[in-house]
Amino acid sequence: MYKRSIAPCEDTPVQRLVTAELDLDLGASVDLIFQIAAAQPAPVLREELTFTQGDRVYTPTEIIDQSGSRLHRLLGEAGRLEVRYEALIEGHVSQRATSDLEAITYLRPSRYCQSDEVFSQARRQFRGLQGLELITAVSEFVASSTTYTPGLSQGTDSAVTTLMTGQGVCRDYAHVVIALLRAMDMPARYAACFAPGLRPMDFHAVAEAYLDGSWYVIDATRLANRRSLVRIATGRDASDCAFLSYHGGYVGLQRMRVDACVLPDDASDAAAQDAAAAASDPALDDVAELVQLA
CA pair distance 108, 115, nearest whole angstrom:
7
Residues 174 and 269 in one domain: no
Residue 287 lies in a domain: no
Q: Are 135 and 155 found together in one domain?
A: yes
Look at residue 263 and tell me if it is in a domain.
yes
What is the structure's pLDDT at 1?
53
Does residue 294 lie within any of the structural domains?
no
Q: Looking at the domain assignment, is residue 53 inside a domain?
A: yes
Residue 46 pLDDT: 96
Between the alpha carbon of residue 57 and those of residues 31, 51, 83, 169, the distances in Å are 16, 6, 10, 34
Please report the pLDDT score of residue 8 as a whole number: 35
Same domain, 122 and 50: no
CATH code for the domain in which residue 162 is found:
3.10.620.30
Predicted confidence at residue 155, as pLDDT, reads 85
pTM beyond cutoff 0.85: yes
Question: What's the confidence (pLDDT) of residue 114?
Answer: 98
Same domain, 236 and 104: yes
CA atoms within a 13 Å half-sphere pointing along the CA-CB vector of 31: 4
Contact 141, 125 (CB under 8 A): yes
Pair 219, 116 in one domain: yes
The domain boundary, picked from 224, 240, 256, lies at 240
Residue 218 lies in a domain: yes
Q: What pLDDT score does 10 carry?
A: 37
In a domain, 22, yes or no: yes
What is the distance, to the nearest Å, from the Cα of residue 191 to the centroid of all Cα atoms in its chain? Answer: 4
Number of domains in the chain: 2
Q: What is the pLDDT along the chain (294 residues), one digit of tens a residue?
A: 544 433 333 343 579 999 999 999 999 999 999 999 999 998 999 999 999 999 999 999 999 999 999 999 999 999 999 999 999 998 777 777 888 999 999 999 999 999 999 999 999 999 999 999 999 999 999 999 999 998 888 889 999 999 999 999 999 999 999 999 999 999 999 999 999 999 999 999 999 999 999 999 999 999 999 999 999 999 999 999 999 999 999 999 999 999 999 998 777 778 878 888 888 899 999 998 999 986
Regarding whether 113 and 223 lie in a shared domain, the answer is: yes
Domain that holds residue 29: 2-92+242-279
**CATH number of the domain residue 20 falls in:** 2.60.40.2250
Look at residues 215, 240, 265 and tell me which one is the last residue of a structural domain.
240
DSSP 6-43: -PPPS----EEEEEEEEEEEESSSEEEEE--SPPTT--
Q: Do 157 and 114 have their domain in common?
A: yes
In this structure, the answer to whether residues 253 and 195 fall within a common structural domain is no
Q: What is the per-residue pLDDT for 13?
A: 52
| 284 in any annotated domain | no
Same domain? For 184 and 233 the reply is yes
